[in-house]
């Protein structure tokens, strides 16, 4: 399977980590970025222009606002777009392909631990999931509405989790724990909780840790007082609204 990655910025570049087993051609306009990628991935082909799409599965990783100015020729085997808020109907207007897929990976693709939301034409479902599973866990969704909702929890939430990580570390530093040690704790904490959450409901995990009148209960009460739960719910709503705005 031949893959044409158009755009190798933060997200497109992160996806390259998992695509090593494919025949990959990368289109990147910045010469400095092409030189960087050539040193890191000597086996890939790097271009400064878009070739004919014939015979390629195209991975589109440009900025959404750049779609209208994209100039392409030929018909792709399939188009997999990671453009936030860009509906399938708009993709069909600008790029010719036999099948269309929308996907939303996250930056953990760098470690092949992305959780990637996927939807689109059922005719290319199996192949899309196979490709996107190389960078982590790929979840097929039944509609574009579900994908726009999942953009928050799958695509944007890593930034929010980084905020949580930084806040926890700052709290520990404020009390006297060294910053390096604090970050070490936070990284291990998130990794361990991810494994546990694959097997057990979060409310049950919380109840196992929070004993009556204990330290966890005291901290939990402080979080509720600060409206942390409400803030995350509102963050999801804001992300969804913005995704819809980008699609207009």
Reported as a single tens digit per residue, the pLDDT across 162-203 is 999 999 999 999 999 999 999 999 999 999 999 999 999 999
Assess whether pLDDT exceeds 80 at residue 248: no
**Number of residues that make up the chain:** 248
Confidence of residue 236 (pLDDT cuts 50, 70, 90): very high
Specify the DSSP element, H or E, that contains 14.
helix 10-15
- Predicted TM-score (pTM) of the model is 0.84
Which residues face 4 on adjacent strands? 25, 58
Instruction: Give me the mean pLDDT over the 137-160 stretch.
Output: 93
Report the 10 Å Cβ neighbour count for 236: 18
**pLDDT, tens digit, for every residue of 117-141?**
999 999 999 999 999 999 999 999 9
Q: Is the model's pLDDT at 88 over the cut of 90?
A: yes
d(CA 195, CA 200): 9
Q: Measured between alpha carbons, how far is 24 from 193 in angstroms, rounded to an integer?
A: 35
pLDDT tens string 101-111: 999 999 898 89
Q: Supply the pLDDT for residue 65.
A: 86
- Residue 62 is encoded by which pair of tokens? 């440009």
On whether the CB atoms of residues 71 and 6 are closer than 8 A, the answer is: no
Cβ contacts of 218-221, under 8 Å, gap ≥ 24? none
Answer yes or no: is pLDDT of 51 > 90: yes
Position 117 scores a pLDDT of 95
Give CA–CA dist 5/26, Å, rounded. 5
């Amino acid at each position: 399977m031949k893959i044409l990655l158009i755009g190798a910025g933060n997200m497109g570049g992160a996806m390259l980590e998992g695509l090593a087993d494919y025949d990959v051609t990368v289109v990147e306009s910045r010469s400095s970025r092409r030189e960087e990628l050539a040193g890191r991935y000597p086996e890939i082909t790097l271009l400064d222009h878009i070739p004919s799409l014939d015979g390629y599965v195209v991975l589109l990783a440009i900025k959404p606002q750049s779609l209208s100015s994209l100039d392409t020729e030929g018909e792709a085997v399939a188009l997999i777009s990671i453009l936030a808020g860009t509906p399938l109907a708009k993709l069909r207007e600008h790029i010719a392909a036999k099948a269309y897929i929308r996907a939303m990976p996250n930056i953990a693709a760098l470690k092949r631990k992305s959780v990637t939301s996927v939807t689109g034409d059922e005719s290319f479902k199996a192949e899309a999931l196979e490709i996107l599973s190389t960078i982590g866990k790929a979840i097929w969704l039944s509609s574009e509405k579900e994908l726009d909702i999942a953009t928050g929890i799958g695509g944007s939430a890593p930034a929010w989790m980084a905020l949580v990580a930084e806040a926890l570390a700052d709290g520990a530093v404020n009390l006297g724990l060294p910053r390096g040690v604090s970050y070490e704790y936070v990284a291990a904490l998130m990794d361990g909780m991810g494994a546990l959450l694959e097997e057990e409901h979060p409310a049950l995990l919380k109840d196992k840790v929070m004993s009556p009148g204990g330290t966890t209960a005291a901290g939990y009460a402080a979080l509720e007082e600060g409206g942390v739960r409400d803030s995350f719910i509102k963050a999801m709503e804001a992300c969804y609204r913005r995704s819809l705005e980008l699609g207009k």
